[in-house]
Amino acid sequence: MIPHRKNLDGFAISLMLLLCLCWGLQQVAVKLAIPVIGASMQLGLRSGLAAALVLLLIFIKKIPISLRDRHVLPGIAAGILFALEFLCVSLGLKYTTASHMSVFLYTAPIFTVLGLHWLIPAERLQAAQWLGILSAFAGVAIAFSGAFVQSPHELGEMLIGDGLGVLGAILWAATTITVRKSSLSEAEPTTTLFYQLAVGALILLAFVFLRGENLPTQWDRTSIISLFFQAVIVAFASFLTWFWLMRRYLVSRLSVFSFLTPLFGVAAGVILMHDPISPRFALGAILVCGGIVLVNFRRT
């Protein structure tokens, strides 16, 4: 156990930049593989493969885990919320761009701090954080308004996709609050991650098979690389690295980097998917990212 968490050093900053880049690329990776394998199927397989890797790590490190321990029920609850979040992402990506999804999904810290403000006295918001929330919500409203310059059909689709992105952010925040308020806050990070991934995989895969979707009979290089990146790099390696950093460095300092993730996501969408960026969406994205910075700010 490490009693004192450190300020960020060059190593931690480098790791956080790499993590934000990986998380920003996630939505683009899903979108690139959709012509071969559906988004819900991708996210279900990703969660299942990553859960298997985490379970292997649990056995190697001999971390105790039991279906009778006190973490099971909150673990299942977190897993259900995790699955619903990514169900929103997978459905939303059918209607909106990867760039839009990256910005709207990563409004999650805003909803997280709002929930924690009302539930946990130690997490009360400061003036700068309230300003950040106002900035972020103004940014979301402006970004949404950009859809109104589209044709009626495009307007409907974009609003559905963007709305699912915001709903995914709310579910992500609910997952974080569930972990924070339950016994999972004291569990091994690998245990918490395993519950989220395993339950999420079961729900997502059940959803796609009930819809009649099957695994593709032919895989191309893009879909294979995309699934490997999502499962091994993002869902397994990056999440465990994040937990490792949180146990060694000040979380408030690490969280400030979260605003870089949607910026990386938008940049990746523009470069790799040629996503259009309207002036309204660009202004909204800047306000959202600025709001996330202020929300993560805490006086020392």
Q: What is the mean pLDDT of residues 254-262?
A: 74
Identify the CA nearest to 45 among candidates 262, 259, 201.
201
- Whether 88 contacts 171, CB under 8 Å: yes
By CB atoms closer than 10 A (0-12, 13-18, 19+), residue 10 is exposed
By CB atoms closer than 10 A (0-12, 13-18, 19+), residue 282 is middle
Residue 246 gets which letter from DSSP? H
Structure tokens at 140: 């979301």
Stated pTM of the model:
0.82
- Whether 92 contacts 161, CB under 8 Å: yes
- Whether 199 contacts 84, CB under 8 Å: no
- Whether 45 contacts 278, CB under 8 Å: no
Unique residue bearing structure tokens 């460095």: 249
CA pair distance 205, 87, nearest whole angstrom: 10
> Is the pLDDT reported for residue 63 higher than 90?
no
> Is the pLDDT reported for residue 150 higher than 70?
no
Q: Report the chain's mean pLDDT, rounded to a whole number.
A: 83
Structure tokens at 216: 């593709």
Task: Report the pLDDT value the prediction gives residue 148, as an integer from 0 to 100.
Answer: 55
> Is the pLDDT reported for residue 151 higher than 70?
no
> Is the pLDDT reported for residue 109 higher than 80?
no
CA pair distance 91, 140, nearest whole angstrom: 19
